[in-house]
Amino acid sequence: MLRALNITDFVIVDRAELEFGTGFTALTGETGAGKSILIDALALVMGERGDASVIRQGAEKAEISAEFDIAKLKPLQRWLAEHELAGEDDAYLVRRVIDSGGRSRAFINGRSVTAAQLREAGEHLVDVHGQHEHQSLMRGAAQRGLLDAYAGLEDAAATVATAWRRWQDIRGQLAKLETNAAAFAAEREELEWQVRELDALKFGAEEWQEINAEHARLAHAQSLIEGAQFAMDALSDADNSSVTQLSAVSAKLDHLLAYDARLKDIIEVVASAQAQAQEAVYMLRDYQQRLDLDPKRFKEIEQRLDAVHASARKYRATPDTLPDTLARARERLEQLGGNLDVESVRERESEAHDAYLDVAKKLSAGRKKAAKKLAEKVTAAMQTLAMAGGCFEIALTALEEGNSNGLEQVEFLVSAHKGIAPRALAKVASGGELSRISLAIQTVASEIAQVPTLIFDEVDAGIGGRVAEIVGQMLQKLGTRHQVMCVTHLPQVAASADHQWQVTKTTANGKVASRVNVLASAGRVEEIARMLGGVKITETTRKHAAEMLGIKI
């Protein structure tokens, strides 16, 4: 429920601090005083678009803030918690600021939010019915949406839309598959052949390193043998070998050690070099004995390399990436194997269609039941709105295969008078009749509204007399279940309200300003007398106003 609304420098309102109560509140005043501006300000903090044009002349910014009690709005509480916007004491505080540059800032419970978040939260709080609401009701989408909302079928409708999209996606896959079956089959055949050939090659990334190393060794085996022999000769086997010379050096220095002890470290180094050279000889001899010319193995290796290089050229890859080529071919073949099985896709399409029909039929059953109930209630309301004998019907016309909205087209049909066949709401000629039918629909639909605050902005335009009194009673009854506000020019409607606010316009220093006065009993008598009598208010008019309010004067 809306507790308070504070407005600063918005259009012609310089400052307004309003507190709201339960029940039905009527906003009245002269034309142009700014009654609807209050509704516009509230719409702005609910996320409606705004720009610098809403700033009061001479001001730098417009600011609107509102406070709501959300103790009973568990879905909104969950939404706030999920977005880390929860406040304290079941309060929802919202503020919107628009500066002269057109920049907009918004805050929920003191935290900065986007306009989209304001709108999402606002859907839980306020429902506004404008004086031109009947124009949107002439559109099929709005009629379907209203019926689904009245029946509580919005989630069911969303489920149907999801099932429809899934069915259409698979249906599209099937059509594409059937159209391109030959091309896909050819691709699959080529991939199968490619996988078989690469599988037969049995080539792995680690083999590439090993086979290249072995090929290099076998290709240069003779050079390796010769090199090993040369090294052994130089180190040990030749007449003037390194080991022999080191041995001679070591013996000479040993003889001289008796004359200079400092030669000891040098002798040890030479002895170590001699030992290492001899060890190298042993290792070289062992290495040479293990070398194998093996022409047969060399031929096998060369044939293996030729096969690998041939496959690499064939598939436009490098030898070391052939395993990746095989993996990609297998992956694509697996994809094609699932998606290109026409019977499998056809079966999935059938299952998706059945799933869509299942949820769509349930939605249709719910719509049929709700359509009958809503039509009866709107028809009953029409009888009290100067359309005796008129009726309201909701036609559910079956669609051949359905669509994302279900298995039927929803259309509102109306007969304003007895004996006239119901016609589409969009074809009702009289603007007054259309306005009253719209009011009847909106009032009935609002009975099940989940939002706590309902606002009617001059929806009673074009009616008067006894019908206006009935409209007032309808809004008053609605106020027992919701917080209801209505901008009205009709004294009969205003007199039915639990509370009445008067909006006036003043001019000071060349600037126009709007003021809101909460009227007590005496003030209500004067205001309703003005609404009844115009410029000159007589005692008779006052007595009539008091009688309408049930007040003795």
CA distances from 139 to 48, 153, 415 (A): 21, 19, 18
Please state the φ and ψ torsions of residue 483, each to the nearest 5 degrees. Answer: -85, 115
For residue 450, being part of any structural domain is answered with no
Range of the domain at 502: 1-125+496-519
The continuous run of DSSP H or E covering 381 comes out as helix 342-383
Of 550, 546, 526, the C-alpha closest to 536 is: 526
The continuous run of DSSP H or E covering 407 comes out as strand 406-415
Q: What was the pLDDT predicted at 256?
A: 86
Q: What was the pLDDT predicted at 534?
A: 66
Q: What's the angle, vertex CA 548, arms to CA 445 and CA 433, rounded to 5? A: 40
For residue 142, being part of any structural domain is answered with no
List, in sequence order, every residue forming a beta bridge with 15; answer none if it has no partner: 8
For residue 311, being part of any structural domain is answered with yes
Please state the length of the chain: 553
Quick one: DSSP state of residue 526?
H
Decide if pLDDT at 24 tops 90: yes
Q: What was the pLDDT predicted at 36?
A: 80
For residue 37, being part of any structural domain is answered with yes
pLDDT (mean) for 472-487: 88
Each residue's pLDDT tens digit, 336-359? 765 456 788 889 999 999 999 999
- Bridging pattern class, strands 61-69 and 2-10: antiparallel
Q: How confident is the model at residue 418 (pLDDT cuts 50, 70, 90)?
A: confident
Q: What was the pLDDT predicted at 165?
A: 96
Q: Looking at 321, 339, 357, which one is the last position of a domain?
A: 339
Each residue's pLDDT tens digit, 494-532? 999 999 999 888 877 767 778 888 899 999 999 999 988
Residue 499 is which amino acid? H
Each residue's pLDDT tens digit, 137-193? 778 888 898 899 889 998 999 999 999 999 999 999 888 877 776 777 777 888 888
Residue 204 is which amino acid? G
C-beta separation of 345 from 174 below 8 A: yes
For residue 7, being part of any structural domain is answered with yes
CATH number for the domain that contains residue 108: 3.40.50.300
Percent of the chain with pLDDT over 90: 27
pLDDT (mean) for 280-307: 78
- Same domain flag for 24 and 101: yes
For residue 266, being part of any structural domain is answered with yes
What sign for the dihedral angle of Cα 275, 277, 279, 282?
Answer: negative
- More confident position, 66 or 12: 66
Q: Looking at 339, 365, 389, which one is the last position of a domain?
A: 339
For residue 335, being part of any structural domain is answered with yes
How many structural domains does the chain have? 2
List, in sequence order, every residue forming a beta bridge with 61; answer none if it has no partner: 99
pTM of the model: 0.59
Quick one: DSSP state of residue 162?
H
Percent of the chain with pLDDT over 70: 92
Each residue's pLDDT tens digit, 68-117? 999 888 888 989 999 999 888 788 999 999 998 889 999 999 999 998 99
For residue 15, being part of any structural domain is answered with yes
- Same domain flag for 111 and 251: no
Q: Provide the 10 A C-beta neighbour count for residue 118.
A: 21
